[in-house]
Amino acid sequence: MEEKKHNLFRREGNNDLEICIEIPLVDALTECSLPIPILGGENLTLSFENTVVYLGYVKVIVGQGMPTLKNDGKRGDLHVKFLVDFPKELSDEQRQEAFRILENCC
């Protein structure tokens, strides 16, 4: 039987799922809380404190993937991958301010 494509989730392995979430740069660099869709149409809120969400950052939510074939109540995991939305352009003042803030952190 062929599996149908889902508009939010992609199967990863047997029971794990993957979802890609776009996040604004300001949220990626500062503490934020984000609603993450899970199977069944609900949302789960992820909070990021003292965490920089970088391009390719993955958060694994245990037990929020596909149910196992054994129908034993167990589920795979949900892998949330983040796509950081960078600004398309900055003014000279914004560049200078970003440089001033970031020059000593990396």
pLDDT digits (tens, 9 = 90+) for 22-72: 999 999 998 889 999 998 889 999 998 888 898 889 999 999 998 887 768
pLDDT, tens digit, 9 for 90 and up, residues 53-64: 988 899 999 999
Q: Decide if 54 is inside a domain.
A: yes
Supply the range of the domain harboring residue 80. Answer: 10-102
- How many domains, in total, are found in the chain? 1
Q: Decide if 90 is inside a domain.
A: yes
- The CATH number of the domain holding residue 90 is 2.60.260.20
Q: Decide if 95 is inside a domain.
A: yes
Whole-model pTM: value is 0.81
Q: Cβ(80)–Cβ(8) under 8 Å? A: no
Q: What is the pLDDT of residue 3?
A: 63
Q: Decide if 22 is inside a domain.
A: yes
- Let me know if 28 is exposed, middle or buried by CB neighbors in 10 A (0-12, 13-18, 19+): buried
For the chain, give the percent of residues with pLDDT over 90.
54
Q: Decide if 3 is inside a domain.
A: no
Residues 6+ apart with CB under 8 A from 30: none
Amino acid letter for position 76: G
Q: Decide if 4 is inside a domain.
A: no
Q: Decide if 1 is inside a domain.
A: no
Q: Decide if 49 is inside a domain.
A: yes
